Chains A and B, each alone.
Chain A
Amino acid sequence: KAGVTQTPRYLIKTRGQQVTLSCSPISGHRSVSWYQQTPGQGLQFLFEYFSETQRNKGNFPGRFSGRQFSNSRSEMNVSTLELGDSALYLCASRGLNTEAFFGQGTRLTVV
């Protein structure tokens, strides 16, 4: 069974640009959640999608948005990038009563 796949693995963007990250969950998993990990703030919850609907949202500005498609794949978008957005972005998928399985993350560097 394939794991959670995140693309791209590494990304370098300049301030003011926007970026879209992709996450393909484990087959059959309908829940996808996103996390931002930085050395200073640790792992912080961004949002969770379940069956194309956002179910939970963390405390992040509106520049951070996401969506989920009918095949459960999810994308996360960050607009007007700031230096502080540099982080490892982790996606996790979950079945109905399973633990969260994480992808390898996308390491975003904003310069």
Chain B
Amino acid sequence: AQKITQTQPGMFVQEKEAVTLDCTYDTSDPSYGLFWYKQPSSGEMIFLIYQGSYDQQNATEGRYSLNFQKARKSANLVISASQLGDSAMYFCAMREGTSGTYKYIFGTGTRLKVLA
């Protein structure tokens, strides 16, 4: 069974609008971390935002925010005021395990295209 599910293979958004990229996860571990990474065409994975399973508030980093709904096991990424440079693949990832034995599991990604 998929541990990280990204159901949107591709998304379009108009420049300056907000967009939500979906991510659901599955784990029985009470301690886990959720991440979003951006991968432009150059290939490098760029860290965007992190949410710990025990964090009470939703994480925010500039124009990025994570809509964390623990009971629903979802961790959607919200990008506000989209820019052309936001066009890229976006991966949701979950970190399981304990320090020293962490394992990252990635979703299949969502390709975001920002339209001018």
Residue B105 is within 8 A (CB to CB) of chain A in the complex: yes
Given the contacts A43-B91, A56-B101, A99 and B106 also touching, CB distance less than 8 Å: no
**For the complex, what is the distance from the CA of A88 to the CA of B46, rounded to whole Å?**
15
> Chain B residue with minimal CB distance to A55?
B101
Give the contact stretch, choosing among A63-71, A74-82, A103-111: A103-111
Could you tell me the distance in whole angstroms from the C-beta of B37 to the nearest C-beta in chain A? 7
Q: How many chain-B residues does the 8 Å CB contact rule pick out?
A: 24
- Interface secondary structure of A, over-half rule: strand
Interface residues of A in 45-104 (CB under 8 A from B): 45, 48, 50, 55-56, 88, 90, 92, 94, 96-97, 99-104
Asked if residues B44 and A100 are in contact (CB atoms below 8 Å), the reply is no
* Residue-wise interface mask of B (4-32) relative to A, using a CB-CB cutoff of 8 A (1 in contact, 0 not): 00000000000000000000000000000
| Interface pair A42/B103, CB less than 8 Å apart | no
A43 x B106 contact (CB < 8 A):
yes
Whether B45 contacts A90 by the Cβ 8 Å rule is: yes
Which residue in A42, A45, A96, A103 is a CB contact (below 8 Å) of B44? A103
Of A31, A55, A92, which one neighbours B45 at CB under 8 angstroms?
A92
Within 8 Å of chain B (Cβ to Cβ): is A33?
yes
Cβ contact within 8 Å between B43 and A99:
no
Residue from B50, B103, B109 within 8 A of A99 (CB atoms): B50
Q: How far is the CA of A99 from the CA of B33 in the complex (A)?
A: 9
B45 contacts A97, C-beta separation under 8 Å? no
A56–B37 CB distance below 8 A: no
Task: State the CA gap A105–B39 with chains docked (Å).
Answer: 11
Least Cβ–Cβ distance between B18 and chain A, in angstroms:
24
B interface with A by C-beta (< 8 Å): 33, 35, 37, 42-47, 50, 91, 95, 97, 99-109
Taking beta carbons and an 8 Å cutoff, which residues of A are in contact with B? 31, 33, 35, 42-43, 45, 48, 50, 55-56, 88, 90, 92, 94, 96-97, 99-105, 107
